[in-house]
Amino acid sequence: MAVVRSDLVSYWSLGEASGTRVDSEASNDLTVVQGTPGNTAGIQGNACLFDDANPDEIGITDAAQSGLDPAGNMTICGWFRGDALPSAAGDEGICGKFVGTNKAYRVLWLGANDRLYFYISGDGSASSSIFSDVLSANTTYFFCARYDGTNIELRVDSTDATPVAYSSGVYDGTAPFNVGDEGTGRYMSGWVDELSFWKEAMSDAQVASMFNSGSGLDYAGTVALFGISVTPANADVQLGATNPTVNVGSLSVTPSNVDVQLGATNPTVNVGQVAPISDISVDVFLYDIKTTVKL
């Protein structure tokens, strides 16, 4: 699977000094603030700083959110840094919607073994999980948790855990979406930065691009990465590689590093960066001017 620009549900840069943390992509602002979360230097600008002694957390109620209860496939990406090992300080929740019998998903640094876990539930009660290698305190980590309808996957930095078979979907419950806690009072001490939620599973190549060799991406960089979008759409096309192979019937392109949806009559194309494609003509509409291009 792979995501396209329109699959981005929410993006929180988390650089605000206090109060509401704004959703740069949509309207899922994290307006519920507990304690006094602040900010500190993160992977891109400032990150949201949490203290489990307060305890601190930010979030949005289920009634106020839109799109954070995915019907199926999903991806959560972000960066975090814990002040102490959870084996010494207790489990540390990074984010999630995971309360009681309204369990949906969560990312949790577990105290039992100091590994990062991604949990997912299809019925609100029982859950399946996948975990990383042992992590260290005071170390910045990238994480990407994915569900593609067949497996759950977890990558920390550039290391993938072995996928775990799972096909029971994601429970649509009433738990809030929290950051700095995953919903069960497992508060973290440290920071979270550049958190994004997608309604599709990223490809391995896309996850690597989000990691960006350890430098990460801010919101503008993420939008630029997935910056070719087409609406309306009825077929998927992947673009971005040098001399890609194009199967015109299904409009599929391989290899790829950017996803685009095409296929509708007179689509509106917002062009990011497109690599050369041979043997195909495309009608491009930019600023209401039609140009037929032989590629």
135 and 61 fall within a common domain? yes
What range does the domain containing 250 cover?
227-294
160 and 275 fall within a common domain? no
Output the tens digit of pLDDT for each of the chain's 295 residues: 799 999 999 999 999 999 999 999 999 999 999 999 999 999 999 999 999 999 999 999 999 999 999 989 999 999 999 999 999 889 999 999 999 999 999 999 999 999 999 999 999 999 999 999 999 999 999 999 999 999 999 999 999 999 999 999 999 999 999 999 999 999 999 999 999 999 999 999 999 999 999 999 999 999 999 975 444 433 344 444 444 443 333 333 334 443 444 444 444 444 444 444 444 445 554 444 554 544 5
CA angle 207, 25, 227 (to 5 degrees): 55
252 and 218 fall within a common domain? no
Q: Where are the beta strands (DSSP E) in the chain?
A: 8-12, 32-34, 38-41, 46-50, 57-60, 74-82, 92-99, 102-110, 115-120, 128-134, 140-147, 151-156, 159-160, 164-165, 177-179, 190-198, 229-247, 252-270, 281-286, 289-294
111 and 167 fall within a common domain? yes
Collapsing DSSP to helix, strand or coil, 280 comes out as coil
87 and 123 fall within a common domain? yes
CA distance 190 to 157: 18
CA distance 186 to 15: 22
- The tokens for 78 are 């972000």
CB atoms within 10 A of CB 36: 11
206 and 218 fall within a common domain? yes
165 and 283 fall within a common domain? no
Domain boundary among 223, 256, 285: 223
Total domain count, the chain: 2
168 and 274 fall within a common domain? no
Per the confidence metrics, is the pTM higher than 0.75? yes
Query: Under a CB-based contact definition with an 8 Å cutoff, are residues 238 and 260 in contact?
Result: yes
126 and 246 fall within a common domain? no
For residue 172, what is the domain's CATH number? 2.60.120.200
Domain boundary among 223, 245, 261: 223
238 and 201 fall within a common domain? no
